[in-house]
A and B are shown apart, each in its own frame.
Chain A
Amino acid sequence: MGSTSAENHGTEGVGRRDLIKRSAALGLISVPTMSLLSACASSGGDDSGDKAKAGKKTAKNPLAVNDTAGMEFVLFDGGFGKEYAEDAVKIYEKNFPQAKVKFSATQKIQSTLQPRFNQGTPPDLIDNSGAEQMDMGVLVGKNQLSDLTPLLDAPSYDDPNKKVRDTLRPGIVEMGQFDGEKVWILYYAYTVYGVWYSQKALDSLDEQYPETWDQMLAVCAKAKKKGMAGWTYAGKYPYYIPFSLYPMIGKVGGREVLDAIDNLEPNAWKHPAVKACFEAYYELYKKGYVLKGTPGLDHIQSQTAWAEGKALFIPNGSWVENESANVIPDDFDLAVSAPTGLDSSDAMPFGTIWASGGEPFIVPAKAKNAAGGMEQLRIMLSEASSKNFTGKVKSLTAYNGGTDGIPLTPGLKSGVAALDKAGENVVNPRLQDWYVQLQKEKIGVSGLGEMMAGRLTPAEAIKKIQGFADEAAKDDSIKHYKHQ
Chain B
Amino acid sequence: MQHGKYRFIVGFLALPLGLYALFVVWPFIQSIYYSFTDWTGLSPEFKMVGFDNYSRMLDDDIFWKSLQHSLLFALLLPVVTIGLALFFAFMINVGGRKRRNGPVITGVRGSGFYKIVYFFPQVLSIAIVALLFAFAYNPDSGAINSLLRGVGLDDVQPLWLGDPDLALWAVMGVLVWSTVGFFVVLFSAGMASIPAEMYEAALLDGANRVTTFFRVTLPLLWDTVQSGWVYVGILALGAESFAVVQIMTTGPGGPDYSTTVMVLYVYQKAFRDGQAAYATTIGVALLVVTLAFAAVVMRLGRRERLEY
A7–B256 CB distance below 8 A: no
Given known contacts A20-B23, A142-B43, A453-B159, is B274 in contact with A237 (CB within 8 Å)?
no
Complex CA–CA separation, A141 to B139 (angstroms): 43
Closest chain-A Cβ to B21's Cβ sits at a distance in Å of: 6
- A2 nearest in chain B by CB position: B26
Given known contacts A293-B157, A455-B164, is B272 in contact with A118 (CB within 8 Å)?
no
A132 within 8 A of B: yes
A305–B140 CB distance below 8 A: yes
Q: Which of A28, A139, A296, A449 contacts B139 (CB 8 A)?
A: A296
Residues of A within 8 A of B39 (CB): 13
Can you list, as one digit per residue, whether each of A463-482 has a CB less than 8 Å from chain B (1) or not (0)? 00000000000000110000
Complex CA–CA separation, A332 to B282 (angstroms): 49
- A446 nearest in chain B by CB position: B256
Q: Which of A2, A119, A295, A298 contacts B134 (CB 8 A)?
A: A298
- B38 nearest in chain A by CB position: A477
Complex CA–CA separation, A478 to B273 (angstroms): 9
Q: Which of A120, A144, A293 contacts B159 (CB 8 A)?
A: A293
A445–B274 CB distance below 8 A: no
B278–A28 CB distance below 8 A: no
B33–A12 CB distance below 8 A: yes
B274–A298 CB distance below 8 A: no
B275 within 8 A of A: yes
Residues of A within 8 A of B46 (CB): 10
A114–B162 CB distance below 8 A: no
B159–A296 CB distance below 8 A: yes
- A117 nearest in chain B by CB position: B42
Closest chain-A Cβ to B61's Cβ sits at a distance in Å of: 9
Chain A residues 419 to 457 lying within 8 A of chain B, measured CB to CB, are 436-437, 440-441, 444-446, 449-450, 453, 455
B140–A291 CB distance below 8 A: yes
A89 within 8 A of B: no
Complex CA–CA separation, A119 to B159 (angstroms): 46
B271–A295 CB distance below 8 A: no
B140–A13 CB distance below 8 A: no
Complex CA–CA separation, A295 to B159 (angstroms): 7
| Total contacting residues, chain B, CB less than 8 A | 50
Residues of A within 8 A of B140 (CB): 291-294, 296-297, 301, 305, 310
Q: Which of A23, A31, A119, A301 contacts B138 (CB 8 A)?
A: A301
A144–B43 CB distance below 8 A: yes
Closest chain-A Cβ to B89's Cβ sits at a distance in Å of: 35
Residues of B within 8 A of A2 (CB): 26
Given known contacts A305-B140, A446-B257, is B162 in contact with A13 (CB within 8 Å)?
no
Residues of A within 8 A of B164 (CB): 450, 455
Can you list, as one digit per residue, whether each of B28-45 has a CB less than 8 Å from chain A (1) or not (0)? 001001100001111111
A134 within 8 A of B: yes
Can you list, as one digit per residue, whether each of B111-141 has a CB less than 8 Å from chain A (1) or not (0)? 0000000000000000000000010011111
Closest chain-A Cβ to B271's Cβ sits at a distance in Å of: 5
- A238 nearest in chain B by CB position: B255
B22–A441 CB distance below 8 A: no
Closest chain-B Cβ to A440's Cβ sits at a distance in Å of: 6
Complex CA–CA separation, A197 to B65 (angstroms): 39
- B62 nearest in chain A by CB position: A441
Closest chain-A Cβ to B263's Cβ sits at a distance in Å of: 16
Complex CA–CA separation, A29 to B68 (angstroms): 44
- B39 nearest in chain A by CB position: A13
Complex CA–CA separation, A17 to B264 (angstroms): 22
B274–A138 CB distance below 8 A: yes
A11 within 8 A of B: yes
Chain A contact residues, CB within 8 Å of chain B: 1-2, 7, 10-14, 16, 20, 23, 28, 31, 42, 110-111, 114, 117-120, 132, 134-135, 137-139, 141-144, 235-237, 291-298, 301, 305, 310, 436-437, 440-441, 444-446, 449-450, 453, 455, 477-478
Chain B contact residues, CB within 8 Å of chain A: 15, 18-19, 21-23, 26-27, 30, 33-34, 39-47, 56, 134, 137-141, 145, 157, 159-164, 249-252, 255-257, 268, 271-276, 278
